[in-house]
Structure 1
Amino acid sequence: MRTNQPKTIHLSEYKVPAYLVDTVDLRFELFDEGARVHSTLSVRRNPESAEGSAPLALDGDSLKLERVAVNGDDLAVGDYEETGGQLIIAKVPAQFELAIVTWVEPQNNTRLEGLYKSSGMFCTQCEAEGFRCITYFPDRPDVMARYRTRIEADKSACPVLLSNGNDVEKGDLDNGRHFVTWEDPFPKPSYLFALVAGDLVEKQDTFKTCSGRDIDLRIYVEPRNATKCDHAMDSLKLAMRWDEDTYGREYDLDIFMIVAVDDFNMGAMENKGLNIFNSSCVLATQQTATDLAFQRIESIVAHEYFHNWSGNRVTCRDWFQLSLKEGFTVFRDSTFSADVGSPTVKRIENVTLLRTAQFAEDAGPMAHPVRPASYMEITNFYTLTIYEKGAEVVRMIHTLLGPDLFRKGSDLYFERHDGQAVTTDDFVKAMEDASGRDLTQFRLWYEQAGTPVLKVSDAYDAEQNIYRLTIQQSIPDTPGQTDKKPQHIPFALGLLGANGEALPLCFEPGQDARNAPTERVLELTEASHTFEFHGVAQAPVPSLLRHFSAPVRVAYPWTREQLVFLMSHDPDGFNRWDAGQRLAVDVIQSQVGSSDATDIEPRLVEAYRALLNDTGVDQALVAKMLQLPSEAYLIELADSPDVAAIHRTREQVLHHLATSLREELVACYHRNSGGGTYELTSESIARRSLKNNALAWLLMTNDETGRDLALAQLRDADNMTDRMGALRALVNSDYAAERSQALADFYDQFQDDPQVVEQWFSVQSSSDRAGQLPQIHALLTHPAFDWKNPNKIRSVVGVFAGQNLAAFHNPDGSGYAFLADQVYRLDDSNPQIAARLVSPLTRWKKFAPAYSSLMRTALERIRDKPGLSDDLYEVVYKSLEG
């Protein structure tokens, strides 16, 4: 059992760096057996530091030091000290040149941070603290320098040599080797450094900026993936144009590059001018990628490109400010996706993730503010709170200021802080200065953890035609935080009349209703508010928190009649979907423990019948509404949830709905089939989504019609969306023979495509029918599974524990023991992935004792592992002790 606790780093202890680095000159000699890294730094004491005589302390991890020299003079061993992951030189001049030579072994780097090899390709991942695995350096984001990088390698093995900036020199060397030198004219922190060297093919295009400059665009992939780059390239050009039009941000280098890498811990990385992507986030054709994968690629390409300004040109001062770049950029990419697709569907997808996963994070042992106050390992704070809740905080600023003032604020932010490492306070200050709004209280969103709860009550005064709405806010206690202050919350709402008409919202008696808005954003700043709306001639139905205007839970006693009404009449598409979700949740919760399907609310069936028959409604919205609340969301809503009962009840309700709506589902399926050539338009995506959702429901009835439709679709599909839709429906059906044959045929057809095989793994791991533990163990020994590849691990272990909840939460604890086994194993090779995979066990306190004791036992076994990594220790420790 580990007894020493990793050091906790506190925001309150931040100090400016004692030394600054102005320029970095790197030379990489790449060989099969390792890499020699020559680093020459121009260093000077920081005039803003109070530590004028401090020794020079450089970060390092897993390095073999070969040389250290100051101003050309080699240092003897006694002149420096290697200790505690640092190189310390006690005496240095006020300004000097520091030369360091290190040896690293990329081929043995299974952690996938720093410099490593993937499929024979050299590549890097330096965020957050990977640069110290390459060379000794003050590896912190507020040390910004200009980089020049020369890469030398065997020309036949690595014909392509890439780094940040523009290529300024290249040539041949002796013994079949060659070199390329790259120069980045913009100062950047070390986490944005990147290098790629390998045998790659290039997809090239150009983009003309708003000022008339031609930008060279390149995507590099392994030769076998040469035909899968078109969508990513189109997405890049679309994002570049959108960022110019929406934010006035023009690209600044002469070249922008993307490289697809199979082995990658994250989705993608925004290194300046050289973005490195997980292959699953860049490669796509209609035969190998689903519509969701195409949309995900479009969003991630945009996200990483947008980082060029919100993250690179203006970066974060320290890692506590991580949401400064990530929250802002997620907001930007979400707005982009909404603009180029369906705004309502995008909002539904964002909120589903928030409610299911981020709210759970807020209620768990790892709960932390958007700007954390402390951490042990920063890699554990690449969380949904930082990204998704951080984006919601920016969205609320946008709501409070309006689009024009928000754009003015972002312009001021970029202008004021270009080339700087700054804080979330600097971002909010720019918004204040540009708008004239006081956002002092709003800053609490960055400081307080937890999901606010808004308790809403109302009363209608028929004599005075006044509708009163009372909203009380509270924030649950979280680790280290109690007695929280009220936050500044934008709360959008509307009121609907008996026929679904939008009612005017008049705050003053006698106000002219003709000029009154039918939607308002109320600003909540106190623990309790009561709002009065005058001239309301009838008791209205409230449409609350429209567009999900704040990341909060709303508690209001809607009746089922009101929810059915809102499903049909609310002009806000998000709230129509939300009403359907709330109605379904209410019905499912009321059925838990009942085995009588005749008790299922008939109004739920009729609401879905009306939805399926209304072809005038946005079909993308219908497709989303035709998805019952997930088991994960139902579990999150329950106290001491009985997972098996929730799973059983949800299946029972779904079976009842599908059986009752069989004719409508068949008609919906046929109505949305065909359509000619595959297209990625919003309409075509909606049609396929609705068709495949209808098919999935039909297969729940054990009706041969659904089975035959799925088999025919699987046989005839000309795209992966329809093929995977049919496969998933069969895998989640009771047709065992058809399921086995379909899985075998699918693998035979796509076994040579790693990204498709990951989908094949995932569809089985997520299914309670195909993904029980014996089948999961079999997948882990499958020839296509690779313990060194994070995508494969996530598609089996991660999906099983995160989506196949009935199997994972088996009452005998076997699912917990299984996850503990895999995390235990992975901690020795890739602790970042291990720390992320353990998350489902950390919510053990939420469950009833029969579950929680077994989950705790699994966590304790991990805690007692000899040599437990810092990454995993922090998560397990906070879960058990918090």
Structure 2
Amino acid sequence: MRTQEHRTIYLNEYRVPMFLVDHVDLRFELFEEGARVHSTMKIRRNPDSEDREARLELDGDSLTLETISLNGQTLASGDYEDKGDKLIVREVSDEFSLTIVTWIEPQNNTRLEGLYKSSGMFCTQCEAQGFRCITFFPDRPDVMARFSTRIEADKALYPILLSNGNDVERGELDDGRHFVTWEDPFPKPSYLFALVAGDLVEKKDRFTTMSAREIDLRMYVEPRNSEKCEHALDSLKRAMRWDEEVYGREYDLDIFMIVAVDDFNMGAMENKGLNIFNSSCVLASSDTATDAAYQRIEAIVAHEYFHNWSGNRVTCRDWFQLSLKEGFTVFRDSQFSSDMGSATVKRIEDATLLRTAQFAEDAGPMAHPVRPASYMEITNFYTLTIYEKGCEVVGMIHTLLGPELFRKGSDLYFERHDGQAVTTDDFVKAMEDASGRDLTQFRLWYEQAGTPVISVEDEYDAERKVYRLNIRQHIPDTPGQRNKKPQHIPFAVGLLNERGEDQPLKLDASENEAPTERVLELTEAEHTFEFHDIEARPVPSLLRNFSAPVRVRYAWTREQLMFQMNYDSDGFNRWDAGQRLAIDVIQSLVHQPSETPIEPRLVAAYGHLLTDSSLDQAMVAKMLQLPSEAYLLELNDAADVQGICEARTRVLNHLALNLREELVACYHRNGDSGPYQPTPEAMTRRTLRNSALGWLLQINDEEGRVLALKQFREAGNMTDQSAALRALVNSDFEDDRARALADFYQQWQHDPQVVEQWFSVQASSPKAGGLDAVKALLEHKAFDWKNPNKIRAVVGVFAGQNLINFHARDASGYNFLARHIVRLDDSNPQIAARLVAPLTRWRQYAETYRHGMKAALESVRDKASLSPDVYEVVHKSLAD
């Protein structure tokens, strides 16, 4: 049984492994009633370990030990001790062979860790500590071994047998069974082990590397998904080519495989040569997947492929170093997505996620550094801080060094540490050694939690023509960390003159030529920068391209923000000015009477966006999206959810009513132009069209209703059909809403991924997603408590996106979520722990909500035998 011990693990307690495993021979006998796992390990004492007399201790979880033998001799019961979570062998030599046979029951594995069954197939998820659920092993990332895996199963039920590496042998066995043996030539930690066995369709493709090697690409899916593979395979080939061109990284095996799995706790897993994906993150066809899904799939496929070097060939020494592989790889996939589409739009999307969700994580009870100092349950640290903030930290190094020196540093990192398990310090050291830059202070980004606040004040000396910026940085206290040191922050700025032009930024009056954009390096608590030969007071363009993950405090006027919206050459800051203007207007209306006038210039600003065809339409599509309710809540210390949501809705309705004609024109101007194409241009056109439709339905416009019904019936792709459905669901046209939902389900009921969209549209809707309606969705025949995607689509979406209903003043939404966290804690604690997040920042809300959120957390805390996953999140959230 899994231990319920709530023990904290600390980075400063790290010790090298006492034993190393050079080679593992695995043999899996797969049956319907369970699986027998034979493991033979070649083990030796670690010469770097100080304990030369240590007993061998192997990790285990929910295993039934059948036999154990040392150097071919079966051990007596007194020679070892099976403690459930540990297998201890009392006396071993410096080098030896150990064979262990275990019995496991994948069909009953609801945690979806280790080996389990999904839709009738066997599959694995071993990161972070799932391999110990398969066999006893030193299950830590700094123990790297070469694996040989033989899989035996019923050929009729499981014709496809897959594992890491290259298939070297296959054959027939008695009783209709068969086997395949896989050899992985590269040492890897156990978390990268993978196995799949099932009745799957194989899709093939080829890729020619830069050294002219032919790579066999294969994708395995259930037969019903056979037409949804092309986009993932095309994305894979684009990622492989890009990684060669930008990072010089060539694929190293002869075969690369992808498998789609319905029941999966994560998005995807980078197992060496055999990537396993959540079906929702890899399957796509134009009639079943939206534009957003196409983009997400391309990014995730690239991310998992890029891990082949930044995570597999060079892996992390321990789980505290998780961002070493994840932050670096997110940075790489972000670069890739920028190159595949609009770099500005990608930067806006990344910053939006960071400012809405990661900044909230930094300000909450689970705040932790990019390299945590401790954890209780490692699965709780697959966080936005590790991934997205870790990406930003790598991005800041890229900004400070420039692309050429950064590439030199990454080359050195891969060459120096190939085949090793290393740390974030090793990564930064490679960048230092390649560039000659001292990044000592920069390392604080890995050590200090929290979001830096950059306060900016300015003054203009007309007589001297000098413009001065006074910049201060401060990092708020976070759990366990106070009085933090100043960090090394790249702060990109520009100055706009009265015509909206970028001015030369002379930090020294004697400069003859100066750039129009500078990256100021903040290293002290306070800096003053003077810019010379500035003819008139400029409008500052601060933190261009979101050059660092920080909050900026500056007293922008609405006039300045509108000016930036129209003229700033930095696309990100142009968008950000629109967001700040909308935020200022929305916040000014909270708790104000309904007759309070709304800033009239807001209509003019958004009208300009809708009608000026000279603007970058991809950026316009982003600028037309008002700040989300979640972000508006994040900006408040005592958030009144109902007040904020009502103010935002009022502004949206005001804009839609006053810009109705422009919205109708935008809708028709961006009409369908033929067969579906997942190109950036076509996606932008659909986004603008569907945004206009959504705004029209927001005000229950009759013409918009007719357009939505027509689009819903005639759409030739899922993007347009689901957008029309969402617009109708969020309107007051109740009969149309009900018919559209019924028709959509009737059409797509046999496609699980589309049904997940159907669940999500309802669970997120303020109009259709009341608590009673959400409860009814949980009783629907298509809902499955064993499937994480279905749980996320209903419970997760309701709590995370349907804020006005989740935050009902009677606390019914909180109690609903708490009950289901408790329910899931016994079956899938990983998913249960992630669902706690909407309750964790209860202190941020107004008193009206605070008491109910805290009480809901306390009800979860009081559950008997709470899993370590949920225990850690709940207790940190309630700590004083």
TM class by smaller structure: over 0.9
Does residue 521 (structure 1) correspond to residue 514 (structure 2)? The answer is no
Q: How far apart in 1 are the matches of 2:666 and 2:385? A: 38
Aligned counterpart, 2:340: 340
Aligned counterpart, 1:37: 37
Q: After superposition, where does 1:156-555 map in structure 2 within 5 Å?
A: 156-512=156-512, 515-555=513-553
Does residue 18 (structure 1) correspond to residue 12 (structure 2)? The answer is no
**Superimposed CA distance per residue, residues 735-792 of structure 1 (whole angstroms, 9 cap, x where no aligned partner):** 1111111111000000000000000000110011110100000000000000000000
Aligned counterpart, 1:93: 93
How big is the shift at 1:853?
1.2
Does residue 556 (structure 1) correspond to residue 554 (structure 2)? The answer is yes
Q: Any conservation in 1 of the 2:286–2:718 contact (CA below 8 Å)? A: yes
Q: After superposition, where does 1:748-767 map in structure 2 within 5 Å?
A: 748-767=746-765
Q: How far apart in 2 are the matches of 1:342 and 1:301? A: 19
Aligned counterpart, 1:800: 798
How big is the shift at 1:367?
0.2
Q: How far apart in 2 are the matches of 1:434 and 1:465? A: 40
Q: What letter matches 2:153 in structure 1?
A: A
Q: Any conservation in 1 of the 2:4–2:867 contact (CA below 8 Å)? A: no
Q: Any conservation in 2 of the 1:765–1:800 contact (CA below 8 Å)? A: yes
How big is the shift at 1:84?
5.5
Q: How far apart in 2 are the matches of 1:296 and 1:427? A: 27
Does residue 693 (structure 1) correspond to residue 683 (structure 2)? The answer is no
| 3-state SS, counterpart of residue 619 of structure 2 | helix
| 3-state SS, counterpart of residue 272 of structure 1 | coil
| 3-state SS, counterpart of residue 599 of structure 1 | coil
Aligned counterpart, 1:681: 679
| 3-state SS, counterpart of residue 850 of structure 2 | helix
Distance 1:215 1:597, change over 3 A: farther
Residue of structure 1 aligned with 2:587, choices 577, 586, 589: 589
Distance 1:401 1:622, change over 3 A: same
Q: How far apart in 1 are the matches of 2:672 and 2:832? A: 44
**Superimposed CA distance per residue, residues 108-151 of structure 1 (whole angstroms, 9 cap, x where no aligned partner):** 00000000000000000000000000000000000000000000
Aligned counterpart, 2:772: 774
Aligned counterpart, 2:623: 625
Q: How far apart in 2 are the matches of 1:193 and 1:703? A: 55
Q: How far apart in 2 are the matches of 1:591 and 1:65? A: 65
| 3-state SS, counterpart of residue 854 of structure 1 | helix
**Superimposed CA distance per residue, residues 537-580 of structure 1 (whole angstroms, 9 cap, x where no aligned partner):** 01000000000000000000000000000001001111111000
User: Which structure 1 residue ranges, 4+ long, deviate > 6 Å from structure 2?
Assistant: none
Q: How far apart in 2 are the matches of 1:63 and 1:511? A: 71
Q: How far apart in 1 are the matches of 2:602 and 2:5? A: 53
| 3-state SS, counterpart of residue 685 of structure 1 | helix
Q: How far apart in 2 are the matches of 1:560 and 1:699? A: 29
Q: How far apart in 1 are the matches of 2:586 and 2:757? A: 30
Q: What letter matches 1:456 in structure 2?
A: V
Aligned counterpart, 1:852: 850
| 3-state SS, counterpart of residue 777 of structure 2 | helix
| 3-state SS, counterpart of residue 800 of structure 2 | helix
How big is the shift at 1:849?
2.3
| 3-state SS, counterpart of residue 765 of structure 2 | coil
Q: How far apart in 1 are the matches of 2:509 and 2:824? A: 66
| 3-state SS, counterpart of residue 293 of structure 1 | helix
Does residue 614 (structure 1) correspond to residue 612 (structure 2)? The answer is yes
How big is the shift at 1:595?
3.3
Q: What letter matches 2:196 in structure 1?
A: V
**Superimposed CA distance per residue, residues 44-67 of structure 1 (whole angstroms, 9 cap, x where no aligned partner):** 000000111111000000000001
TM-score, length of structure 2 as denominator length: 0.99
TM-score, length of structure 1 as denominator length: 0.99
Q: What stretches of structure 2 of length at least 5 have no aligned partner?
A: none
Aligned counterpart, 2:840: 842
Q: How far apart in 2 are the matches of 1:676 and 1:263? A: 35
Q: Any conservation in 2 of the 1:20–1:43 contact (CA below 8 Å)? A: yes
Q: How far apart in 2 are the matches of 1:280 and 1:73? A: 48
Aligned counterpart, 1:862: 860
Q: How far apart in 2 are the matches of 1:852 and 1:85? A: 39
Q: What letter matches 2:119 in structure 1?
A: S
| 3-state SS, counterpart of residue 878 of structure 2 | helix
Q: How far apart in 2 are the matches of 1:76 and 1:862? A: 44
| 3-state SS, counterpart of residue 670 of structure 1 | helix
Tell me the number of residue pairs that the alignment of Structure 1 and Structure 2 aligns.
878
Q: Any conservation in 2 of the 1:597–1:652 contact (CA below 8 Å)? A: no
| 3-state SS, counterpart of residue 541 of structure 2 | strand
Q: How far apart in 1 are the matches of 2:596 and 2:188? A: 64
Q: How far apart in 2 are the matches of 1:205 and 1:510? A: 60
Distance 1:171 1:453, change over 3 A: same
Q: How far apart in 2 are the matches of 1:675 and 1:530? A: 53
Q: How far apart in 1 are the matches of 2:821 and 2:770? A: 18
Q: How far apart in 1 are the matches of 2:751 and 2:140? A: 38
Q: How far apart in 2 are the matches of 1:511 and 1:183? A: 62
Q: Any conservation in 2 of the 1:597–1:656 contact (CA below 8 Å)? A: no
Q: Any conservation in 2 of the 1:510–1:535 contact (CA below 8 Å)? A: no
Q: How far apart in 2 are the matches of 1:398 and 1:388? A: 15
Aligned counterpart, 1:662: 660
Aligned counterpart, 1:112: 112
Q: How far apart in 1 are the matches of 2:595 and 2:795? A: 34
Q: How far apart in 2 are the matches of 1:680 and 1:302? A: 16
Does residue 566 (structure 1) correspond to residue 564 (structure 2)? The answer is yes
How big is the shift at 1:674?
2.1
| 3-state SS, counterpart of residue 638 of structure 1 | coil
**Superimposed CA distance per residue, residues 376-419 of structure 1 (whole angstroms, 9 cap, x where no aligned partner):** 00000000000000000000000000000000000000000000
Q: What letter matches 2:468 in structure 1?
A: R
Q: How far apart in 2 are the matches of 1:24 and 1:608? A: 62
Q: How far apart in 2 are the matches of 1:674 and 1:183? A: 50
| 3-state SS, counterpart of residue 175 of structure 1 | helix
Q: Any conservation in 1 of the 2:675–2:716 contact (CA below 8 Å)? A: no
Q: What letter matches 2:550 in structure 1?
A: V
Q: Any conservation in 2 of the 1:597–1:653 contact (CA below 8 Å)? A: no
Q: Any conservation in 1 of the 2:27–2:37 contact (CA below 8 Å)? A: yes
Aligned counterpart, 1:813: 811
Q: How far apart in 2 are the matches of 1:73 and 1:868? A: 41
**Superimposed CA distance per residue, residues 446-473 of structure 1 (whole angstroms, 9 cap, x where no aligned partner):** 0000000000000000000000001100
| 3-state SS, counterpart of residue 532 of structure 1 | strand
How big is the shift at 1:510?
3.6
Q: What letter matches 1:874 in structure 2?
A: E
| 3-state SS, counterpart of residue 633 of structure 2 | helix
Distance 1:4 1:751, change over 3 A: closer
| 3-state SS, counterpart of residue 415 of structure 2 | helix
Q: What letter matches 2:797 in structure 1?
A: V
